[in-house]
Amino acid sequence: MPDWVEAGYAEYTKRLSHEINVNLIEIKPEKRVGGKPVEQLLQAEAQRIRSVLPPNCHIVVLDERGQQWTTVQFADVINTWMTTGEAIAFVIGGADGLHGDIKRIAHELMALSKLTLPHGLVRVLLAEQIYRAVSINKNHPYHRA
């Protein structure tokens, strides 16, 4: 990832470290060798994603066709998810997206925007929105409605 992605993500996860545990697990994209079809590449990535998901976690897949919430609604949703005590796994696809199997096992499809966004930018935006949601739920002054 470019330095600006690392810096942006680090800033928000540092702020979150006082409130919740955040773990980033990066899956290397499948190499495009020998003209492998995209479906085959995505299937291999899907297997690696499934292998690192925490057991019994709440899976949220980022997809431009997913549910969109306002920031305050997202804070409510995060609060509901957190009350179950399960880990929440946000899954961001690569350049070719995600295999349908990953979308099918998701509990939620979530969109930060209807625009197609690069996955590095999504990482930063998602970290900021999680931080903002947790801040709202903890009555911190970060969010100004």
- Which amino acid, residue 51? S
125 in a labelled binding site: no
Residue-averaged pLDDT of the chain = 90
Whole-prediction pTM = 0.89
> In terms of DSSP H, where are the helices of the chain?
3-16, 38-52, 71-83, 100-105, 119-137
What is d(CA 11, CA 73) in angstroms, rounded to the nearest whole number?
Answer: 23
Residue 112 labeled ligand binder: yes
User: pLDDT digits over 17-69, tens only?
Assistant: 888 889 999 988 877 777 788 888 999 999 999 999 999 999 999 998 999 99
Was 36 annotated as part of a binding site?
Answer: no
Quick check: is 8 in a domain? yes
- Identify whether 30 is part of a domain: no
Q: What is the dihedral of CA 131, 5, 117, 53, to 10 degrees?
A: -70
Whether residue 28 is annotated as binding a ligand: the answer is no
Query: Domains in the chain: how many in total?
Result: 1
Is 5 among the domain residues? yes
Beta bridge partners of 139: none
- 61: containing domain: 1-20+55-145
Burial of 116 (C-beta count, 10 Å sphere; 0-12/13-18/19+): exposed
Residue type, 105: I
Residue-level pLDDT at 19? 83
Residue 39 resides in a domain:
no
Has 116 been labeled as part of a binding site? yes
Q: Residue 64 is part of a domain; what is its CATH number?
A: 3.40.1280.10
Report whether 115 belongs to an annotated binding site. yes
Residue 105 lies in a domain: yes
